[in-house]
Each structure stands twice: as C-alpha cells, then as structure tokens.
Amino acid sequence: MTETALLELSGITKRFPGVVANDGVGFSIAPGQVHALLGENGAGKSTLVKMIYGVMHPDEGSMAFDGKPYHPGKPSEARQTGVGMVFQHFSLFEALSVAENVALGMDKAVAGTDLDAKIIEVSQAYGLPLDPTRLVGSLSVGERQRVEIVRCLLQSPRLLIMDEPTSVLTPQEVDILFETLRKLSAEGCSILYISHKLEEIRSLCDHATVLRGGKVVGNCNPREETAKSLAEMMIGATLTPPERQHLEPGPERLTVDKLSRASDDPFGVDLHDVSLTVCAGEILGIAGVAGNGQIELMEALIGEVACDLNGTILLNGDLVGHHNPTERRAQGMCFVPEERLGHGAVPDMALWENTILSARTRKQIENNGFLNNNLARTFADKIVADFNVKTSGIDHAASSLSGGNLQKFIVGREILQAPDVLIVSQPTWGVDAGAAADIHRALQELAKNGTAILVISQDLDELMAISTRFAVISEGRLSESQPTGQMSVEEIGLLMGGVHSSAGPVTHPEVSAEDNHA
C-alpha cells in the first residue's frame, strides 16, 4: 500500500443484475491532493463514491483510510472517519428547513446548539448564502446545492467528495469555490472531484483517474492534457464537437410580451415585464444564477400556471396563455424541465411508461382514452437507440439510469416529437462531454429543421456554444437578447450576479451601471 495515501482502493468490484458497475477498480488519493474521477455517464463513478461514503458496499476488494482498513457500513461511519460527500442528486427533505436538513446529515455533537449561526457563518464565508429557516421545498436547484455543500463543510472532513458541485454556479462563484477548495487542499484536506466540466478539472485538479465501463483505463495529470484529450480518454473514441449553425431565422414561433406574474412560492421570484421572441431555426439562450425567476418563467411558458394576460404568450401566433401543458403540446410545444426525477420522469415507472407522460398526444399513443402500449414501447426503443441511452432495457425504472443517461432519454423523448417550439432547462446538467456534445448536436439539428428552441441554463460555455442569441435573467427581469459573441463571459457573469438587475433590461454591453440608473 502507498505509504502516503489517505485513501487506498484495491480491486473494488460491484455488481448489479445485468451489469458490473465497478470491475477491479484501484487507485489512491494522497493527503491534500485534489483528485479528479472522470468517466462518461454510466462509467461507474457514482457507484464507486457511494461505496467510499458507505451508501453501498463492495462485493470484492478492499479500502484503507489513513493506513487502516476501511469498510463503512453506513454514511455516519464514513463521516466519523473523516469522509464527507456532496451528492449530485440531493439527499434533502423538502418539508424540512435548511437547518433541519443540515442537522440530519451531521452527528448531534458536531451540530451543537448554535447550528443556525454556524450555517450563516460558513455559507457566507464560502459565498453561498443560505437562510437556515427556509424550507428546502421553497429553494431553487442552485440553492439546494448550496445546502449540500455547506452541510459537508460544517463537518471539517479530511476527504471531501464533490459530485458536480459547480453545475449551478456563475463563473465568479466557481472562482470563490475553487479558492476555498485550494485552501482546504493546502491545509491537508483531500478532495475527490467529479465533474463533466473538463476545463474545471484542468484548472483545479492535481491528478485524474479515468473510468470506462467500470474499469480504470487511465491516470494522468489533467494540467498536461487538453479538454479534448481528456474527453477522448473517457469515451475511448475521437470526439467531434458540434459546429455552430449560421441560419437565417424563420417566422416567429414563440412570443412573450410583458409577462409579469407573482411567484406561487413565498420565497420565489416574481417576474417583471418579461418579453422575448424565438423564431424558427433560432436557439435563444437564457443565462442566470439559480433562483432568479427561471422556475417561474418555465412554469408560465409550459402551462403549469395560467398566464392568459391580454395575449402575453403566443405560439405560432395563437394565444396559449390559458392552455394547460397537454394542450400546448398538441399545438406544437415540447419541454424539458430542470429536475429529471419527479418532474421530467416518474422514478418508479419503466422507461416505456415514461414516454406516455409527454408523448401520448404528439405520438398518438393515446386515442379516445385508450393507450397503445406497443407504440409507447416502440417509441422508447427509438429514443434509447437514437440517443445512445445506456440501460439494461426499456422495462427498467427511470431511477435505475445514471443522471446523464436519464437526461439523454428525456431530451430525446421531446426532440423526437418534432416540436415547433422546444423549451429546455439545464439540458446537459450532470452529463458527460460525449453525451453533452450529442445533446447539443441534436438541438442544433432540430433548429436547422425549423424548430424554435429556448434554452435556460447556468452553464455559460453551453450557451455560448449552441445559442444564436442569448439574454440574462436576474431578479425576475430579462435583459434584451443579443447575438451570441457580442459579450464576454465575464460581462455575462456580472449580469448573472445581479449587476444592472435593478435597472431592468440591459440593451448594450458597454452601458455602465451608472448610465442605466440615470
């Protein structure tokens, strides 16, 4: 065993029916090392870190922590040893407050009696502000991510496992988090870092272990690699990124005129005079920090709340503000919500059953109240084949898929309905580089065929890569859209962070905050 290793894995194997998730995995992490764990969706990363954290147990192999045998029977034992984990999929109870959720993930002695004050202190120190009294059910996805990170940092772990921690942060917030992680590393805390943002890996990590098909296929220093070479190591093939489309926009498909609505959530964000248009062949990207009105905008656009306000929302020129989601789908609108499990798919339903949720109208799976299960199964098979969804079969539950593969299935389910308008929130959240490129390519091909696409995302690289125009939403206000490429990532990040937000729409990147207020 490596004498200086904090964590040592040897021959770790984990099997599930029909699949070997981890096959003889072995590597070590030194004290203070920032160690990346890379692999495409379904490569076995999540299973491996769950065994390190005590959620699952290996069928074969051994682990050692600080030179001593390590086999946690449950997460609390891992935490007592000094292992903390921030999950990609949140382990939070919506009916409880932030402080109550934090307390559930901590030993009582560590939480103490002044937990609220500790949460405020740590969250402010790391630039991730939280109100310990708020119910988790009222938080945005980004704010829930903050709860997970702060809960972990409160326990002063010796090994911190982070699974996609920056997926809902602005560039400025990522910089703050990285400063914190580098400080923790300098103090001797080891970090096992999982991310599909390869430039982040190159910037932050000292070493990388690459998994493919459950096996270790490579080790490297990420700083000596390119993002492309890392991606190709992960997928085992040459990666061809999608090319930006240069198409003349067609007729207006989606029009929103001065949409204002009060949020149904007492902690939500009200929308103020949101206006936008998306034409056939366009991809309009909307950037913004989580919790700035994206949820309220998505709900209004897809019909989960009624917005029949004097022609506020038009689809192909027809008023649809008073129509429900099923009616809007029949008129040509499809959508992908940001929350995969529970909103985009029912966890315990089979994949083929999940096609019925959104495709029953446009794919004619339902007729006069009767369902054609054969059509649903055929459609599910096509989604799996066309979008390279890794699954043991369409009879398996949606919850059995990795996050990235479920995302590919949901995105494919909507794209293959050939909508006139597609609204997508966080299209590649938690998706590996190869799958993200496939999704981006599919979106661009859909736009090329005449669909108007609206993408809501916190990933600026994504918006810069695929959108033809973009706008920024901040505190419920939407800036005027601009052609992609006319603003720097830094300027967009400032808008996302709230600069200019009180002044309403931002029309030109060169306009200063003082000019706007004037």
Please state, in angstroms and as integers, the Cα–Cα distance from residue 158 to each residue in 6, 69, 284, 317, following that order.
9, 16, 43, 58
Q: Which long-range CB contacts under 8 A does 69-78 form with residues at least 24 apart?
A: 70/7, 76/107, 78/52, 78/53, 78/54
Residue ranges of domains in the chain, CATH in brackets: 7-235 (3.40.50.300), 252-332+419-517 (3.40.50.300)
Average pLDDT, integer, range 133-161: 85
What pLDDT is attached to residue 18?
Answer: 79
- The pLDDT tens digits for 1-27 are 445 799 999 999 999 887 899 999 999
Using DSSP, state whether 266 is helix, strand or coil.
coil
**Full-model pTM:** 0.69
Does the pLDDT at position 197 exceed 60? yes
Q: How far is it, in rounded angstroms, from Cα 369 to Cα 500?
A: 51
282: tokens are 């366009």
Residues 6+ apart with CB under 8 A from 80: 107
Tens of pLDDT, residue by residue over 384-433, are: 999 989 898 999 999 998 878 899 999 999 999 999 999 999 898 777 77
Q: Which residues pair with 23 in a beta bridge?
A: none
Distance CA 260, CA 324 (A): 18
What does the pLDDT average to over 459-479?
Answer: 88
What is the spatial distance between Cα 116 and Cα 466, in angstroms, rounded to a whole number? Answer: 42
Q: Say how far apart CA 482 and CA 333 lie, in whole Å.
A: 24
Average pLDDT score over residue span 437-459: 92
What pLDDT, on a 0 to 100 scale, did the predictor assign at position 40? 82
Whose CA is closest to 214, among 42, 386, 449, 375?
A: 42
Query: 418-441: b or e for each residue (b if 16 or more CB lie within 10 Å)?
Result: ebbbbbbbbbbbbbbbbbbbbbbe
Confidence check: pLDDT of 330 > 90: yes
